[in-house]
């Protein structure tokens, strides 16, 4: 039978706690990860550019969403790397593989964003 203590934080309290933990994660990512800071800066620069372009709702969501996706994948990659480093600083082939997978995911999300922005700008101005 499930322990009833796992169901203590429900409703608004759970949402407040989840928001607090998320804010802490964003702050930690910004503080500890140079790549995350660079991606956040790029997002802060390109979001007003997307607004200025007045692309329509769906293209705007694609432009900004692709930038946010890069930041999300970067945080997930950092979480994987942190968990692996916590377990052991020893270079193990499986640990390296997991880190390489995370890095590849970040690369693909950046490529995705660059393609979305590039194709939109080409269509708009090309």
For 115, other C-beta atoms within 10 Å of its C-beta total 11
- Which whole-number Å values give the CA distances from 33 to 27, 90, 107, in the listed order? 10, 21, 16
- Dist CA 62 CA 113 (whole Å): 9
Catalytic residue among 33, 39, 74, 90: 74
Q: Is 39 a catalytic residue?
A: no
The residues assigned a catalytic role are 74
């Amino acid at each position: 039978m499930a322990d009833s203590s796992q169901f203590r934080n429900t409703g608004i309290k759970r949402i407040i706690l989840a928001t607090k933990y998320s804010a802490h994660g964003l702050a930690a990512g910004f503080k500890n990860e140079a790549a995350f800071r660079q991606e956040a800066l790029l997002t802060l620069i390109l979001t007003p550019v997307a607004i200025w372009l007045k692309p329509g709702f769906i293209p705007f969501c694609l432009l900004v969403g692709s930038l946010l996706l890069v930041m999300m994948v970067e945080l997930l990659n950092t979480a994987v790397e942190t968990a692996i480093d916590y377990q052991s600083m020893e270079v193990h082939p499986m640990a390296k593989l997991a880190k390489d997978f995370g890095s590849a995911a970040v690369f693909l999300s950046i490529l995705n964003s660059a393609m979305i922005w590039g194709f939109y700008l080409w269509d708009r101005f090309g």
